[in-house]
């Protein structure tokens, strides 16, 4: 069967099943996408880290800080992360699901730690420092994925998946680095951790209803993430146009804006219903 026919058939099925707009359709679609992506990625040959990844265009040393803007642009992560933790522990202005409070804590804790991990990496770019850049991002990402599952799909499922997701995310980073040290770099598990949720979250938002209002904040965060990836890819182009900032430093700012919008939504949203 030609690949083009398979792709066309899959697209028609997806359009059809999305029109059904019910949980059963969502479960079927998410299961099929998950199995297809996992199988597809694992069938690939090991993916080594490209050494060119560490070669950022903006390497200016300002105030004796190398790669100044790529380092300093991480500070807002600490601000929004600590603000989220403060609202959870002290002001209690965040409307969350009490039984998965740990997931929200891990999300904002991970966001806070991005400041230190990413700043460290950009001071001395390399595979070893990249580990500490990726770890907090992975923790935040997996915690957020669990939160979305709890709020949209199933509270019990999200609770069960929280720690396995975080543990697997951490494992994927250390597994990648251990293979790089051996000269057999393999990013496949990390690729799954980073990109499979990006594929599944929009499907969850489309097929399932949240127990809260303000769900557009998740769409805004997804768009910010997509824009950040574009800015990262066109790092040099953006720098040549703006000169003061590169695509990578703006990537940090854009992601922080997305998280800030989500934090605001968490504070303003209302409960619609309690069953997930």
What DSSP string describes 76-120?
Answer: HHHHHHHHHHHIIIII------GGGHHHHHHHHHHHHHHHHHHHH
Is a pLDDT exceeding 70 seen at residue 273?
A: no
d(CA 114, CA 110): 6
The residue-averaged pLDDT of 54-76 equals 93
Comparing 15-29, 42-56, 81-95, which segment has the lowest mean pLDDT?
A: 15-29
d(CA 213, CA 113): 28
**What is the share, in percent, of the chain residues with pLDDT greater than 90?**
78
**What's the pLDDT score for residue 2?**
45
**What's the pLDDT score for residue 93?**
85
Is a pLDDT exceeding 50 seen at residue 162?
A: yes
d(CA 10, CA 137): 32
Handedness of CA 160, 166, 172, 174 (dihedral sign): negative
Is a pLDDT exceeding 90 seen at residue 15?
A: no
Mean pLDDT of the chain, nearest integer:
90
Q: Pick the closest to residue 34 from 161, 150, 131, 139 (CA basis).
A: 161
**CA of residue 9 relative to chain centroid, distance:** 29
Task: Please indicate whether residue 17 or residue 51 has the higher confidence score (pLDDT).
Answer: 51
Q: 271 pairs with which residues across the strands?
A: 212
Give the Cβ contact number of residue 227 at 10 Å: 16
Residue pair 162/99 in contact by the 8 Å Cβ criterion: no
- CATH class in words for 44-268: mainly alpha
Task: Please indicate whether residue 178 or residue 243 has the higher confidence score (pLDDT).
Answer: 178
Comparing 17-21, 173-177, 183-187, 258-262, which segment has the lowest mean pLDDT?
A: 17-21
Model's pTM, two decimal places? 0.90
d(CA 111, CA 87): 14
Is a pLDDT exceeding 60 seen at residue 275?
A: no
177 CB contacts (<8 Å, ≥6 apart)? 127, 128, 130, 131
The residue-averaged pLDDT of 108-137 equals 96
Is a pLDDT exceeding 90 seen at residue 16?
A: no
Q: Which residue has the tokens 């057999």?
A: 184
d(CA 276, CA 272): 11
Polymer length of the chain: 276
Structure tokens at 95: 């409307």
d(CA 16, CA 6): 15
The residue-averaged pLDDT of 83-99 equals 92
Please state the domain extents for the chain.
Answer: 44-268
Task: Please indicate whether residue 136 or residue 10 has the higher confidence score (pLDDT).
Answer: 136
Is a pLDDT exceeding 50 seen at residue 3?
A: no
d(CA 253, CA 250): 5
**What's the pLDDT score for residue 272?**
85
Structure tokens at 107: 């999300």
**What's the pLDDT score for residue 255?**
97
Residue pair 57/70 in contact by the 8 Å Cβ criterion: no
């Amino acid at each position: 069967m030609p690949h083009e026919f398979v792709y066309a058939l899959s697209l028609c099925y997806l359009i059809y099943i999305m029109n059904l707009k019910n949980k059963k359709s969502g479960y079927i679609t998410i299961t099929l996408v998950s199995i297809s992506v996992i199988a597809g990625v694992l069938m690939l040959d090991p993916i080594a880290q490209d050494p060119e990844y560490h070669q950022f265009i903006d390497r200016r040393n300002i105030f004796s800080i190398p790669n100044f803007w790529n380092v300093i642009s991480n500070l807002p992560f600490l601000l929004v992360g600590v603000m989220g933790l403060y609202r959870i522990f002290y002001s209690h202005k965040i409307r969350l699901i009490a039984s998965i409070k740990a997931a929200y804590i891990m999300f904002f804790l991970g966001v806070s730690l991005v400041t230190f991990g990413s700043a460290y990496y950009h001071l001395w770019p390399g595979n070893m420092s990249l580990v500490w850049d990726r770890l907090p991002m992975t923790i935040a990402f997996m915690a957020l994925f669990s939160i979305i599952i709890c709020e949209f799909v199933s509270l019990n499922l999200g609770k069960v998946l929280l720690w396995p997701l975080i543990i697997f995310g951490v494992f994927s980073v250390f597994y990648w680095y251990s293979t790089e040290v051996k000269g057999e770099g393999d990013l496949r598990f990390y690729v799954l951790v980073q990109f499979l949720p990006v594929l599944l979250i929009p499907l969850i938002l489309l097929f399932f209803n949240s127990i809260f209002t303000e769900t557009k904040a998740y769409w805004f965060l997804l768009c910010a993430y997509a824009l950040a990836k574009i800015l990262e890819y066109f790092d040099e182009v953006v720098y040549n146009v703006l000169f003061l900032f590169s695509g990578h430093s703006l990537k940090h700012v854009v992601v922080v804006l997305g998280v800030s919008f989500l934090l605001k939504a968490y504070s303003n949203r209302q409960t619609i219903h309690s069953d997930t």
